[in-house]
Structures are given as structure tokens and as C-alpha cells.
């Protein structure tokens, strides 16, 4: 499971350092937190693919950390493994009831822990729970959210894509393309942190397509924040020469063509209750709003990039 991101939450330096060194040697990206609040902040900024969590933390219980992550739609899918000295049956039951996927007691076998981490990541991958690049919820969790929308009174769905992302990927390579996707995920997450609520949902359907579910009354300001940030910062991923020209050149059938720089395209679907009867209807309506959203190569005011489809 090389290059997966693991978060170790433990206030014992000997344990956290051991795990950091061990998992780094196996090509994981390792984040470390010694307090519960710090762990929650890291999950907000750098979504891990799996969390190894102690129960006894100096500021809050690991049970509370786990429950907080499970109650937030954006982190509810992350596999959590408790690693703790608390070996009572009641503690294990409490840990699993709080939403943990696994429970290991100290002292522990580090190879066994590694296998359990691998198994948790493998299960998440098999179930298509997360996108491997951004760590955001993938197709199955998005479909689950669509099913829940059928039961909700009102909601707003934002469908974001990047025009000319494929051409950027072809010119600059997949590593640079993955950096773009991670940046977009960060921008979307920051917008929800600053302007949304814990009940908002953020998913990555694949490629350069992202879905955000928010309350209708917050949709306008969240759209404005997302588009203005992306329009400002996406050009910085190009070379200075390409930025100055405002386009890249590519060879197509023996001819050099000009490809404009990437720009965000955001469709917005707002629905009152009982207007959709299936997940497929929501998905098709969201795709329609994205397709009809105007492109903005001239970088006009961000609000004009959204197309709203009202179902009444």
C-alpha cells in the first residue's frame, strides 16, 4: 500500500516515533499527532487514508476523537484502528461502538499492526470508498449520499470540473495532474470549513470531477469562494512561459494547436423536496448543470460561472 497516508495519534513519543519510522520505511506518508484536537485538525487539512489512534490522550478521549470523525460526513469513511493499553473487554466494546474498525492492545506486534492497516486500506479500496489520489469519498459513498438526498427536504449539489485538465495532464505528466487534484480537494475542503457545516459532503467522482453537497442558503457564497480561489491559483501550476502566453501548445495530427489554460466549471443543482425519485435522476440533473455551465476564459466574476437548475 505504498504512498498511502497514515495518521498516528499517540502522546507517547516512543510509540509515535517507532510507528513513524516503521511505516515511512514501507513507503507510507506518516502524519503524527499527540493530541485529539490536533488529530482532528490534521484530518481537516490532510485527509489520511487510515488512522492509528490511542484512547488515552491529554486533551480528549480517543473515543471522542473517533466519534467526532464518524459524525462528520467528510471523515466518516476513514478506517480507524485503536492502539491502546486499555485491554478490558468493556473498553474494546466501547471502542468498536464508537465506530472504530479494529482494536489492538499494547504491547503489540508491529508486523501485525501493519497487516491490519493493510487490510483496512484494502477493504476501503475494494469497496470504492475513497479516491486513491485525493482520499475523498468515491463512487459508493457518493451514491449513498444521493440516496439520502431523496429523503431530505432541501439541498444544493455543486458539481465541479476542470476544463482542459486532460490536456494539462498530457503536457505536464500525471504527477503534476495529481498535484492539481489534491489542490482542488484542499480548496473545496477549506471552503466548506470556512463557510459550510459539518453536515456538508465532499466527494471525488474521478478524473477532475468533484461533488459538494451543502445547504441551499450557503450555496452562493461557497460557489464564490471555490471559483475565485481556483481561478486565481490554477495558473500557478503552469510554467511561467505558458502563463504569460495564456495557453499551451500540443501536437494534434501533425499540427500544433493552442490549448487554453485550465478553468473551473461549476454546475449547481438546487432542489426542493420530492422532485427526484431515483439516484439516477439526481446524477443526470447534476451532470446537465455542469455541461451547461458557461466557460470563463476571461476570468470574469466567479458567480457567472455557475448554472443553476431549479426543480419546482
pTM, rounded to two decimals: 0.67
The percent helix, strand, coil of the chain (3-state, each to 5) is: 45, 25, 30
Residues spanned by CATH 3.40.50.2300 within the chain?
A: 5-126
- Angstrom CA distances, 18 to 21, 102, 238, 240, 288, stand at 5, 20, 39, 43, 51
- Which of helix, strand or coil describes residue 128? coil
Give the relative orientation of helices 89-97 and 62-71 as an angle to the nearest 10 degrees: 20
Q: Which of 106, 105, 102 is nearest to 115 (CA)?
A: 102
Residues of the chain with CATH 3.30.70.270: 139-310
User: Going along 54-95, which residue ranges are E strands?
Assistant: 80-84
Q: Which of 77-86, 118-127, 150-159 has the lowest mean pLDDT?
A: 118-127
Mean pLDDT for the stretch of residues 291-296: 72
Q: Which fold has domain 5-126?
A: Rossmann fold (3.40.50)
Please state, rounded to an integer, the average pLDDT across all residues of the chain. 87
Mean per-residue pLDDT for 24-47? 92
Of 12-26, 126-140, 209-223, 295-309, the range with the lowest mean pLDDT is 295-309
Residue-level pLDDT at 121: 86
Query: What is the rounded CA–CA span in Å between residue 306 and residue 284?
Result: 17
Check pLDDT > 60 for residue 164: yes
What digits encode the pLDDT tens for the residues 55-96? 999 999 999 999 999 988 888 889 999 999 988 888 888 888
Parallel, antiparallel, or unpaired for β 29-33 and 306-310? unpaired
Q: Give the pLDDT mean for 36-44.
A: 93
pLDDT value at position 272? 67
The reported pLDDT for the residue numbered 2 is 47
**Cα torsion angle, 152, 225, 197, 99, sign:** positive
Which range, 9-23, 111-125, 263-277, has the best average confidence (pLDDT)?
Answer: 9-23
What pLDDT is attached to residue 299? 44
Query: Quick check: helix, strand or coil at residue 40?
Result: helix
Q: Is the pLDDT of residue 300 over 50?
A: no
Distance (Å, whole) CA 223 – CA 68: 26
Q: How confident is the model at residue 113 (pLDDT cuts 50, 70, 90)?
A: very high
- pLDDT (average), residues 221-235: 95
Computed on alpha carbons and rounded to an integer, the radius of gyration of the chain in Å comes to 21
d(CA 141, CA 200): 13
Please give the CATH number for the structural domain made up of 139-310: 3.30.70.270
Per-residue model confidence (pLDDT) at position 312: 36
pLDDT band for position 296 (50/70/90)?
low
For residue 128, the model assigns a pLDDT of 59
- Could you give the CA distance from residue 249 to residue 168 in angstroms, rounded to a whole number? 10
Amino acid at each position: 500500500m505504498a504512498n498511502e497516508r497514515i495518521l498516528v495519534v499517540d502522546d507517547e513519543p516512543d510509540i509515535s516515533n517507532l510507528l513513524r519510522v516503521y511505516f515511512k520505511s514501507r513507503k507510507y506518508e506518516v502524519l503524527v499527532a499527540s493530541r485529539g484536537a490536533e488529530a482532528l485538525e490534521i484530518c481537516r487539512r490532510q485527509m489520511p487514508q487510515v488512522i492509528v489512534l490511542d484512547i488515552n490522550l491529554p486533551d480528549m478521549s480517543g473515543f471522542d476523537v473517533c466519534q467526532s470523525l464518524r459524525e462528520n460526513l467528510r471523515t466518516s469513511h476513514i478506517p480507524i484502528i485503536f492502539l491502546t493499553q486499555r485491554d478490558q473487554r468493556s473498553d474494546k466494546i466501547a471502542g468498536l461502538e464508537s465506530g472504530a474498525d479494529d482494536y489492538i492492545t499494547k504491547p503489540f506486534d508491529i508486523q501485525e499492526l501493519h497487516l491490519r492497516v493493510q487490510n483496512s486500506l484494502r477493504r476501503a479500496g475494494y469497496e470504492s470508498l475513497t479516491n486513491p489520489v485525493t482520499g475523498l469519498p468515491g463512487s459508493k459513498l457518493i451514491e449513498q449520499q444521493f440516496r439520502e438526498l431523496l429523503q431530505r427536504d432541501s439541498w444544493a449539489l455543486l458539481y465541479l470540473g476542470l476544463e482542459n485538465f486532460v490536456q494539462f495532464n498530457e503536457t505536464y505528466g500525471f504527477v503534476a495532474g495529481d498535484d492539481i487534484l489534491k489542490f482542488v480537494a484542499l480548496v473545496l475542503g477549506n471552503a466548506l470549513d470556512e463557510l459550510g457545516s459539518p453536515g456538508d459532503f465532499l466527494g471525488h467522482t474521478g478524473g477532475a470531477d468533484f461533488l459538494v453537497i451543502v445547504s441551499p442558503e450557503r450555496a452562493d457564497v461557497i460557489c464564490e469562494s471555490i471559483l475565485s480561489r481556483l481561478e486565481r491559483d490554477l495558473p500557478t501550476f503552469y510554467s511561467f512561459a505558458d502563463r504569460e502566453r495564456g495557453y499551451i501548445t500540443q501536437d494534434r495530427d501533425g499540427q500544433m494547436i493552442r490549448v487554453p489554460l485550465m478553468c473551473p466549471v461549476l454546475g449547481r443543482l438546487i432542489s426542493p423536496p420530492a422532485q427526484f425519485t431515483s439516484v439516477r435522476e439526481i446524477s443526470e440533473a447534476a451532470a446537465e448543470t455542469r455541461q451547461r455551465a458557461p466557460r470563463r476564459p476571461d476570468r470574469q466574476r466567479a458567480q457567472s460561472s455557475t448554472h443553476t437548475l431549479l426543480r419546482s
